[in-house]
Amino acid sequence: MPDPRPRTFPAHLRPLRAERDTARPDTAASPPPAENVFPRVSGPRGPRLSLCGGDDGAARRRWRGGETVRMAGRACMLEGDPAERRGTDDAWVLREGTARVVGPNPRPVWFRHVLVRQPGDRGHALLATVDGQLQLLAEIGGRAGLPSLVAGQLTAAEGVLLSARPAGRSWREMFGPPAPRRMPPPDQARAIALLRVAAGVGDVLAALHDSGYSHRAVTPDAVLLPGASRSRPSVVARPVVLRDLGLAAVARLAGEGPAEYRAPEQERYGLPGPRIGPRTDVFRLAAMAYHGLAGVAPGRGGLPAPLRGCRLPFPVAQTLDEVLLRALDLDPNRRPARIRVLADAFRLGAHHLTRMSL
């Protein structure tokens, strides 16, 4: 008989089942539903503790910020309402958000939680995503700014991933954009800081690309700057950490990933044309940087205006402008093939601004 116990990570690893960016999508059959692993309980004292599990109540109830849930054997207090996506009739639920592990060793984490009530292709794909990312984090997590694995668990009905979330501020908190999407361009000091951070993001994504994967979901919320302070942006290069693996080890789908800075090929995947992959990360990072520098997001009808043609309170290096426009080309084949080219252009732009400020 199959072992009904949940698998935990990083123990008991096996080779990655998820396909790399250069391989075909996973086509394994859907697994049978599992028995209830964690029944819901509540104690007479202290805050209510909701345990993850396969019962209907756990799937239908929405999690709220401030409550404590149990994931992968850890008690976790939710920091804000998590983002939730649900299947028809709650056949599956995907929750993502930030929390803090409570207990003897408290620490902030980012989590992805999948609960499947009814077997099906979509529920299986979500569980396979957690499976692949757990194993990927166990292999390369914590290297060169990639998130590190705290805990994970996988059964045929539930998948949980907890990764470390360093203390600090996000790209959005440091450089925007807030709502509305239009914002004033930064001053020269903040522009230098943005370019140095963007170069660091490019380096982290390059490390992920070297492992055969692409993120494909880079947003201002997914980039963390440990120890950063918005009041006094540093012009010195600082460490950059990705909050999560994005869509690494996830099968490509049309309309995939966050809509913010989505690359054109992500919207029309499946039609004749280039594949989604590392050049998708080039576009998303370039769009974030352009928005932060120009104050407006690049348009979708064609190439945006060159930064040197915008009225900005700082000079722009010609090489940075040229590489940035290439990276924002709607055709991935015309973008730089390696994201390090974009990272080096960001560094050159920061160096140019630093020299101009002396």
- pLDDT one-digit tens code per residue, 227-243: 776 555 554 556 899 99
CA atoms of 58 and 62, how far apart (whole Å): 8
- The whole-number average pLDDT for the span 57-61 is 70
Q: How many CB atoms lie within 10 A of CB 152?
A: 28
Residue 169: φ, ψ to 5°:
-115, 160
Residue 344: φ, ψ to 5°:
-65, -35
Indicate the burial class of 270 (C-beta count within 10 angstroms; 0-12, 13-18, 19 or more): exposed
Tokens linked to 4: 């009904």
Calculate the alpha carbon distances from 105 to 4, 47, 133, 158, 195 in Å.
29, 19, 24, 24, 36
The pLDDT > 70 percentage for the chain reads 78
Place of tokens 């924002």: 328
- The whole-number average pLDDT for the span 318-329 is 97
- The whole-number average pLDDT for the span 320-335 is 96
Give the model's pLDDT for residue 152.
97
Helix, strand, coil proportions of the chain in percent (round to 5)?
Answer: 30, 20, 50
- The whole-number average pLDDT for the span 290-297 is 95
Q: Is the pLDDT of residue 35 over 80?
A: no
Strand arrangement of the beta sheet that strand 168-170 belongs to: 168-170, 223-226, 241-242
Q: Determine the residue type at 266.
A: Q
Give the model's pLDDT for residue 15.
35
**Cβ–Cβ under 8 Å, residues 283 and 263:** yes
Beta pairing, strands 223-226 & 158-164: unpaired
* Three-class SS state of 185: coil
The closest of 109, 162, 152 to 131, measured between CA atoms, is: 152
